[in-house]
Amino acid sequence: MTRSVFAAFIALATLACSANAETATQGTPDRPILKSDATITGDIVRIGDLIDNAGIVASVPIFRAPDLGYTGTISSEAVLEAVRSHALIGVATGGVREIVVRRATRTIPIKDVEDAIAGVLSAKFNLGPVNEILVNFTRDVHAVYVEPSSQGAPRVKHVDFDVRSGHFDATVEIPTGRGTFVHLSGRAFATVEVATVTRTIDSGTILRDSDLQLERRPRSEVGRDIVTKREQVIGFAARGTLQPGRPVRVADLMKPDLIQRNETVTLVYEVPGIVVTIRGKAIDSGAEGDVISVLNEQSKRKVQGTIVGPGRVLVNNGSPRFASNTSKVTPVELAR
């Protein structure tokens, strides 16, 4: 009997040790634990923001939160010192030395402010479509940070605008929920897209889509000779050197040469009912539609012709001589 009781006691002790070991491994569920980072809503950092399982003191304020749009750090020692007077002891740090504290924020991009001003200028002063109005501020203006709970977009409460100079003064309401207003000034212009090159283009280079970009420029600075569409440039050759940032003009472009000097070409003679082709040698270079000189390799005479395609020149003045004529003539293709 005594031996059985002793054996039962040993078994219970073993189970108790195992349970204690398991509890030690898992940790006490309700033990306060220091966080490694926290996101704060509002101006105040509370104990529960930094410590899990803080209990009834979780809502107690202990620090000031970072400003909107900013992130800060707090040392673990500072946190433990701040909560000591609130009888929160035995906080597990888990090796955390600093807590990263982020302020929850809604960002209002400066583009939203620009669009709000452009919208009023478009409607009130007939400055053109909103997406074609360029707004430049006199001073640096950055994104605006507001509480996540704030709703709505920036609204222009008042604006003065000088049509001739483009200068404006505007009062803009920022949706902070507290009636926050900012005063901004600058210049606004109706714009148009112009084509510019992305790199230095040498004379004679044929322009590709990757060589071009469209930039908005004040409409008053854009002359009638400025290229405004990609299709007006792609496939054309640079008449001179083109520099990045400078709008491309129509006069800066030319049709690419379809025939190079000394290139072997096909001379095409056309008369009613007859088409004759003869091998020739280009004396000049030229693009489609250009008139160039070509050496007729059969007659060794120089003729003038119009470039009608790659390697093809149409001779308009005169026709080649034939050894004999027949009553019925069909188009002839002479071997080169």
- From the first residue on, what is the mean pLDDT of each consecutive set of 10 residues in the chain (336 residues)? 41 41 48 94 94 93 92 93 88 93 94 95 91 92 90 93 94 87 94 94 91 90 89 91 94 87 89 85 87 89 89 73 40 40
Element counts in the chain: helices (H) and strands (E): 4, 23
Cβ atoms of 305 and 267 closer than 8 Å: yes
Whole-Å CA distances, 283 to 286, 291, 301:
10, 11, 12
Cβ atoms of 42 and 65 closer than 8 Å: yes
Percentages helix, strand, coil for the chain, rounded to the nearest 5?
A: 20, 40, 40
Classified by CATH at the fold level, domain 193-256 comes out as: Type Iii Antifreeze Protein Isoform Hplc 12 (3.90.1210)
* pLDDT computed for residue 318 by the predictor: 53
Count Cβ atoms within 10 A of the Cβ of residue 238 and give its class: 0-12 exposed, 13-18 middle, 19 or more buried.
buried
User: What CATH class does 258-315 carry?
Assistant: mainly beta
Cβ atoms of 237 and 276 closer than 8 Å: no
How far is it, in rounded angstroms, from Cα 333 to Cα 82? 101
**Domain map of the chain by residue range?**
33-104, 108-191, 193-256, 258-315
**Is beta strand 71-75 parallel, antiparallel or unpaired with respect to 155-161?**
unpaired
* pLDDT computed for residue 8 by the predictor: 39
For tokens 């309700």, name the residue: 30
DSSP string, 207-259: P-GGGEEEEEEEGGG--TTB--SGGGTTT-EESS-B-TTSPPBGGGEEPPEEE
Cβ atoms of 153 and 175 closer than 8 Å: yes
The architecture of the domain spanning 33-104 is Sandwich (2.60)
Separation of CA 54 from chain center:
46
Look at the pTM and tell me if it is higher than 0.85: no
Amino acid type, 9: F
* pLDDT computed for residue 29 by the predictor: 57
- What is the sign of the dihedral through the CA atoms of 308, 311, 316 and 317? positive
* pLDDT computed for residue 285 by the predictor: 86
For tokens 């966080």, name the residue: 35
